[in-house]
Structure 1
Amino acid sequence: MQVPPAPLRPAAALAPNIQAFVRLLRRAGLSVGPGDALLAMEALTIAGLDSRAGFRAALKATLLRKHEQNDIFDAAFELFWRDPERARAGAAMALMEAQKPEERAKPGGRRLAEAMAGDRPKPPPPEEEEKRELDASMTVSERERLQQMDFEAMSAAEISAAKQEIRKLVLPLDARPTRRFRPDPLGPRVDVRATIRAATRTGGEIATIARRRQVERTPPLVAICDISGSMARYAQILLHFMHAVTADRDRVHSFLFGTRLSNITRQLRHKDPEIAFEMISHIVPDWSGGTRIGEALERFNQDWGRRVLGQGAVVLLITDGLDREGGRGLAEATDRLQRSCRRLIWLNPLLRYAGFQPKSQGIRAMLPHVHDFRPVHNLASLKALVDALSETPKREHGR
């Protein structure tokens, strides 16, 4: 009787590489730690090292927790286990390529490249006194400068810092009463029907009085953003704001428009922003092109208005108002949108200019039909928007 060979045990030299691979995944955003590295080595001891596919499956089974992390894991595996030393140089090249706007990296590619680049030795820290002086003189001023800087004037590093600040902004969850009620023994209203039903089970004697309370729910938030050529730089950053809002609250609906209207609500619900934006890039063909604001709003009113504008919805209309069609049909479409929602807020980056005048036909057509007209060109303007949404709006236009 032939005894089958015992499974191969990982070589001692493989353990440091597995630990380094786990650290790479952790820097790339996966929640793994030293315990997972030990579990992976135990799995490899059982599965053996006979094939690359089995090796990969063992690592994925022990280190992967969510299906949406597959792309990051696969890219990290191919990059690291091909040659851990050469992978660092390849990651640096991938990070440089990711800076090119005309080429789109795979989801998680930039974060993975930065994680690999993090393995490189860092320069020695400056002297303690010099570091203390820089912290005291630069932290507050740099943050204040970033808050006031126009998105269009930001460098790549400043845009990255702005995106981190945007993710800290939280829109208020201003719950509003609905027409529905729920049973509540301490509710302010008597539920006559429930009281009578309970009395029929006790021979007509009323033992307790049922009470109820009105259900409160957060109203829907709808964002309609212009991605034409004049708005492209702002739209790229505001997408991060829309993604942060979608992750923070429910019933958020997001749309992009240039020459056509695109619903990106489902794509923005993905927790990883890089994967969400990659999905958006596949369904939005008119980025940085022309703009037909009136046609896009009319299409929204016809196809989506009744679906998403119920229960006191708040609409954020993000556009500079420069319409290629010269404002044709824009007043009617904006008026219908305003009458369908509780609050219509127009966010326009052109308001950053102190001497702004509504000279464009599109702006003049839209302006009488919005509840609020605000700038959106820097972090301070977004913070002001959050503060404004925290206030209880006055009833306007007969509402």
Structure 2
Amino acid sequence: MKKRSMRGIFFPWPRSKGGWNMLTRTLSNHILKFCLHLRDRGFLIGPQETMDGIRAVQTIDIFNRDQFQACLRLVLCSRVEEQPIFDHAFKEFFFNIKENRLSEELLHYLSDKENNGRKEKSDQGKPQESKKGIPEKQGTVPSGSPGIQSQGGETAKEERKLSWVASRAAFKQSDEFQAYIPPDELGDMEKAAKMLVRKIALTRAHSWQSAKKGIRLDFRKTMRANLQTGGYPVHLYWKKRKKQGAKFVLLCDASRSMSLYTQRFLQFAYALLKCTKHVEVFLFSTKIKRVTDQLLDKRTDLPALSKLENSWGGGTCIGESIYSFVQDYGPQMLHQDTVVIIASDGLDAGDISRMAWSMGEIQRRTSSVIWLNPLLKIEGYEPTARGMKAALKYIDLFAEASDAHSFLKLAKKIKIRR
């Protein structure tokens, strides 16, 4: 079967709707979990080594199990003494039937291509029998090329198996996976969060405070201060509108398509919580979940999020998740002093019929809506995805942020005064 190229990644099956993309995301999730597995065994592996491992497997034949293991060993082992430990951990993670049954099934799927290749080579040597005069069996397709139909049937079978593996991965992850906040660049992220809070200053329409250079005369204070002069206003006192710090609501897309960026957005949410107490954080994938209390956990230096269920690592239902947020939390959290920040790539695979209404309600009730899309850093990207297109006209600021440097750049550029 001819290999097709997509952004430097070779996939040995024809491109189809969701097929290669689903396997890539599932494989990335397995590499992330495998790196955590190695960290438990004393390996010095951080987010940079994890991303290097994901990039490295894109340069090899991922259907070759030996290449897959050797590639990860080369990237994740920093000393020769760690290589035997790595080989044992690799077998323990991918072949432990009791604890990691899904990992074995994934590797079994990756090795099917080798067996299919051997079978195709053996079949090429056999002469093809003529089908003239042979009655067609029940259930066979009477017309078309037999080779192409057989290939299409095998592809459809592989795609069904691929979908099942990916769905099982998301379901298994909901019980075992924990989301960690990366410690690197945390100082820069806190600096960006402080600058963002300082740049956003909202005023309340009916609240005033005393000021030396105000815009309105404070009659009550002026009369009380000038009682000794018989009520003549010798000394004037002024007041100005009271400024109030904004309240933030963060909606972070934690689906498979955002797996490389979600931890950075969580790091930003954690840094923002350290700067101001008026912050609410939500994660969503196919469902939405509030995680503010877990981020405020003081028992460890950096909290780990657990029991995320359908809010992490699954498909992407942006419209349905935002609609659920507006219905369940809108009356308590959406006010004129609220700034809503949505971090998502806009690749909605669910029902978007309620996206426009939900985004319209958020824009109408709040002070500002900011949408952070990490795909904007890709040259030539246009927000043509149906979910992104439906939400675009309700967004006040559409920007890119995927790391501490980009968040700091965003904080310097943003300025909201209302």
Superposition map of 1:20-169 within 5 A: 100=34, 161-169=184-192
SS of residue matched to 1:222: strand
1:321 is matched with 346
CA distance in 2: counterparts of 1:258 and 1:198, whole angstroms: 60
Question: Residues 205 and 326 of structure 1: is their aligned pair in 2 closer, same or farther, counting only changes over 3 Å?
Answer: closer
Question: Residues 177 and 150 of structure 1: is their aligned pair in 2 closer, same or farther, counting only changes over 3 Å?
Answer: farther
Question: Residues 340 and 100 of structure 1: is their aligned pair in 2 closer, same or farther, counting only changes over 3 Å?
Answer: same
TM-score normalized with structure 2 length: 0.51
SS of residue matched to 1:321: coil
| Structure with the higher strand share, 1 or 2 | 2
Q: Identity, % of aligned pairs?
A: 28
State how many pairs are aligned.
Answer: 255
How far residue 331 of structure 1 moved from its aligned partner, in angstroms, is 1.9
1:385 is matched with 410
1:312 is matched with 337
Q: Deviations over 1:182-240 (max 9, x none)?
A: 345765532234556778x8898468655433211111122110111111231122211
Aligned equivalent of 2:272, options 245, 260, 283: 245
1:263 is matched with 290
Q: Greater relative contact order (Cα 8 A, min sep 6): structure 1 or 2?
A: 2
Give the counterpart letter for 1:328 in structure 2. Answer: S
Whether the 8 Å CA contact 1:322–1:360 is kept in 2: the answer is: yes
- RMSD (Å), alpha carbons: 4.0
Q: What are the ranges of 5 or more consecutive residues in structure 1 without an aligned counterpart?
A: 1-97, 118-145
Q: Deviations over 1:254-285 (max 9, x none)?
A: 111112221222332345665532xx313555
Give the counterpart letter for 2:325 in structure 1. Answer: F
Give the counterpart letter for 2:294 in structure 1. Answer: Q
1:177 is matched with 203
SS of residue matched to 1:294: helix
Give the counterpart letter for 2:332 in structure 1. Answer: R
Q: What are the ranges of 5 or more consecutive residues in structure 2 without an aligned counterpart?
A: 1-31, 57-74, 79-181
Aligned equivalent of 1:292, options 270, 293, 317: 317
2:239 is matched with 212
Question: Residues 373 and 176 of structure 1: is their aligned pair in 2 closer, same or farther, counting only changes over 3 Å?
Answer: closer
CA distance in 2: counterparts of 1:152 and 1:372, whole angstroms: 32
Aligned equivalent of 1:362, options 367, 387, 395: 387
CA distance in 2: counterparts of 1:372 and 1:230, whole angstroms: 22
Q: Deviations over 1:319-339 (max 9, x none)?
A: 111112152321221222222
CA distance in 1: counterparts of 2:268 and 2:377, whole angstroms: 19
SS of residue matched to 1:180: strand
Whether the 8 Å CA contact 1:348–1:376 is kept in 2: the answer is: yes
How far residue 300 of structure 1 moved from its aligned partner, in angstroms, is 1.8
Whether the 8 Å CA contact 1:163–1:240 is kept in 2: the answer is: yes
TM-score normalized with structure 1 length: 0.53
